[in-house]
Amino acid sequence: MVATDRISAFDVILPQAIPYKGQVLNQLSAFFLNATAAKVPNWLLGQPDPNVSIGRKCQPLAVEMVIRAYLAGSAWRAYQKGQRDFNGHILPDGLRENELLPAPILTPSTKAEKGTHDEDIRTEEIIARGLATAAQYEQMAAYTRELFEEGRRIAAQNGLILADTKYEFGLWEGEICLMDEIHTPDSSRYFDAEGFAQRQEKGERQPHRSKEMVRQWLIAHNFMGQPGETIPIMSPEWIEAISQEYIALYEQLTGQAFVKPASENRLATMEAAIADFLAKDPA
């Protein structure tokens, strides 16, 4: 799998890339996959290049396991419109944006086919539609809660709040296996822990340490991926700011310096690294 610098929002690939975004996602994902491998089996076998991961090709289960500890993002937008039932979790009136929930809630969504939007789906419908068996869902739910708690713990150690995230699972030799990225700014929402409570008390905006910053910018420019809407063009300064935020989040979460690739011919470098990895470990 090659992680590129392309970025999507509202299920639309934006026309402009974010420098080093792919490397951040690939390396940050590997960091968390390695940190949780003893608890939850995952697909990753190796990372021969900063933008490349090699792993097991699982049979996907077409469900995104979304877990939320705070009322934010799409859940907050739905709450604003009057929704109170989130997959059987009934939220009371009067909650504020980014408010801590009594306990993390699972709000799964469908894993959409190309060209369609992901949609929230209830647990019973997942089973009724055959997207997963009851036993498979329970295992995914248990893995989701365990991964989320570990992600929250690591984030807290580094001055961050992991507000929500999503996981994707598949089958490898009949067993459920964690797939795709994990705890990246594209799949997760982070807040700064310092000053969070004070900002909430004052009703101030919480800066998003995630791709939500891009979504909010798009919303402010009248784009939410709906038919007839025109994708706004990001300025070079805004693209650079997003890139720097991705890099800063990587360094804060991992405690490691972000090293940009020295080679200018990235395609040739990646191909050589992949060939070398497969030659040593063809399995």
pLDDT in tens, 175-198: 999 999 999 999 999 999 999 999
Secondary structure (3-state) at 66:
strand
CA distances 106 to 117, 150, 153, 233, Å, are 19, 16, 18, 34
Mean pLDDT computed over 250-266: 93
Q: What is the pLDDT of residues 84-112, one digit of tens each?
A: 999 999 999 999 999 999 999 999 999 76
Torsion sign over Cα 96, 97, 102, 107: positive
Banded pLDDT at 283 (limits 50, 70, 90): low
**CA 112 – CA 226 distance, rounded (Å):** 16
Q: What is the mean pLDDT of residues 267-280?
A: 93
Amino acid at 204: E
Nearest CA among 190, 174, 263 for reference residue 32: 190
Q: What is the token pair recorded at 164?
A: 């929500």
Looking at residue 264, its pLDDT comes to 81
Q: What residues does 110 pair with on adjacent strands?
A: 63
* Per-residue confidence (pLDDT) for residue 263, from 0 to 100: 79
Given a cut of 70, whether residue 282 has pLDDT beyond it is no
Q: Which residues pair with 105 in a beta bridge?
A: 68
Contact between 171 and 61 under an 8 Å Cβ cutoff? The reply is yes
- Tens digit of each residue's pLDDT (9 = 90 or more) over 16-41: 999 999 999 999 999 999 999 999 99
Structure tokens given for 29:
């994902």
pLDDT at 141: 98
Q: What is the pTM of this model?
A: 0.92
Sequence-distant (6+) residues with CB within 8 A of 167 are 64, 65, 67, 140, 143, 144, 147, 178, 180, 182, 187
Give me the mean pLDDT over the 251-255 stretch.
96
| Crossing angle for the helix pair 21-36 and 134-157, to the nearest 10 degrees | 110
The string of DSSP letters for 204-237 reads PPPPP-STHHHHHHHHHTT-SS-TTPPPPPPPHH
What does CATH list as the number for 8-280? 3.30.470.20
Residue 123's nearest CA partner among 156, 269, 135 is 135
Condensed to tens digits (0 to 9), the pLDDT of residues 108-131 reads 999 766 545 578 999 999 999 999
pLDDT the model gives residue 208? 84
pLDDT of residue 11: 87
Instruction: Return the pLDDT at 112.
Output: 64
Beta carbons within 8 Å of 171's beta carbon, 6+ residues apart: 58, 59, 61, 177
Residue 6's beta-bridge partner residues? none
DSSP secondary structure, 151-191, as one string: HHHHHHHTTEEEEEEEEEEEEETTEEEEES--S-TTTEEEE
- Gap between the Cα atoms of 57 and 281, Å rounded: 15
Mean pLDDT of 43-70: 96
User: What whole-number percentage of the chain has pLDDT above 90?
Assistant: 91
Average pLDDT, the chain: 94
